[in-house]
């Protein structure tokens, strides 16, 4: 009887091959904008501005790269350094303040804890654009608008990123309380417990926050366009607008040189792709860990 049951036991087969067909189709659709960006970089000005062809009729890639790199306002090294400065200030402030706030919500008991956390989460429903005008007026009236990129990073030093607090809290709640109690019995201070126990046990979430802030800072066009006016202070997001407005004379209709814009976009993409390629393992660990916890 046992042998019959073993023979009838269903086999655990892998997913059928036809499942990969829609996956491949969806992947191709997702890669279509990137493909069009690449082929546009090969086109000359006339073709890129007037024809929406799926294959370039000309091959002006080297000429386009030469034009973009040698353009006087396109100081890519300086703009990348400015972007990294903003990224470092934003990330350091967020990692320190949001992780400490999350540690308090995860490890301590105090009156109104759930209510306060609920109010924090509810603020995520408020669009950031609503606060744009009062914040801009405050920065202009206090004279902080053009000082060391203050409007772009100062808020990160006050634990204002509620999503990051939530993300840190989810990970910190997975730490066994026995570790914390044992450290307290051994004489560790609360800051010592945080930096010597909590942080080493949750490296993936810290890497994820750094990666998300790198991409967010790198892709932020609204903030730099609003607060940065001097060309010497431009960031990588401004490098694309340089060529978008290359032939703008003030009128409503003007030609956008999409071939130059595409080359500038591809150059700007290189650091993001490299960073994600080296950090994707930690990022996936963070995503899977959040789902399990």
What average pLDDT score do residues 240-248 get? 82
Domain ranges (residues) in the chain: 15-69, 76-292
291 pLDDT more than 50: no
* pLDDT at residue 52 in the model: 78
pLDDT in tens, 24-56: 888 888 889 899 999 999 988 888 887 778 888
Q: Residue 286 — pLDDT band, cuts 50, 70, 90?
A: low
* pLDDT at residue 1 in the model: 46
Give the global pTM. Answer: 0.81
Q: Residue 13 — pLDDT band, cuts 50, 70, 90?
A: low
* DSSP H helices in the chain: 2-8, 20-42, 45-50, 61-69, 76-107, 113-122, 132-141, 150-153, 162-172, 177-185, 190-193, 199-201, 203-219, 222-227, 236-244, 258-292
- Cβ-proximal residues to 200 (8 Å cutoff; 6+ apart), any chain: none
Q: Residue 87 — pLDDT band, cuts 50, 70, 90?
A: very high
CA 215, 220, 224, 227 dihedral sign is: negative
287 pLDDT more than 60: no
Q: What class has domain 76-292?
A: mainly alpha
pLDDT in tens, 181-211: 888 888 888 899 999 989 998 888 898 899 8
123 pLDDT more than 80: yes
Q: Residue 247 — pLDDT band, cuts 50, 70, 90?
A: confident
* pLDDT at residue 144 in the model: 87
Question: What's the start-to-end Cα distance of the chain, in Å?
Answer: 42
What average pLDDT score do residues 12-17 get? 60
């Amino acid at each position: 009887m046992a042998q019959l049951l073993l023979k009838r036991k269903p086999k655990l087969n892998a997913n059928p091959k036809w499942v990969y067909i829609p996956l491949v189709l969806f992947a191709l659709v997702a890669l279509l904008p990137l493909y069009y960006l690449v082929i546009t970089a090969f086109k000359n000005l006339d073709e890129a501005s007037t024809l929406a062809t799926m294959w370039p009729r000309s091959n002006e890639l080297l000429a386009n790269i030469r034009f973009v790199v040698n353009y006087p306002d396109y100081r890519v090294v300086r703009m990348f350094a400015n972007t990294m400065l903003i990224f470092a200030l934003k990330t350091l402030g967020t990692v320190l303040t949001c992780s400490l706030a999350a540690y308090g919500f995860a490890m301590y008991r105090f009156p109104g804890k759930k209510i306060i956390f609920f109010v924090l989460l509810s603020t995520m429903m408020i669009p950031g654009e609503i606060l744009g005008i009062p914040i801009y007026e405050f920065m202009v009236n206090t004279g902080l608008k053009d000082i060391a990129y203050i409007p772009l990073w100062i808020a990160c030093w006050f634990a204002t990123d509620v999503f990051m607090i939530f993300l840190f809290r989810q990970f910190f709640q997975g730490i066994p309380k026995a570790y914390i109690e044992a450290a307290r019995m051994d004489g560790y201070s609360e800051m010592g417990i945080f930096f010597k126990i909590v942080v080493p046990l949750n490296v993936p979430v810290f890497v994820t926050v750094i990666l998300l802030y790198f991409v967010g800072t790198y892709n932020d066009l609204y903030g730099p366009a609003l607060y940065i006016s001097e060309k010497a202070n431009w960031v990588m997001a401004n490098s694309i607008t340089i060529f978008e407005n290359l032939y703008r004379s003030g009128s409503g209709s003007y030609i956008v040189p999409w071939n130059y814009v595409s080359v500038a976009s591809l150059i700007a993409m290189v650091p993001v792709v490299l960073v994600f390629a080296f950090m994707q393992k930690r990022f996936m660990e963070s995503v899977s860990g959040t789902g399990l916890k």
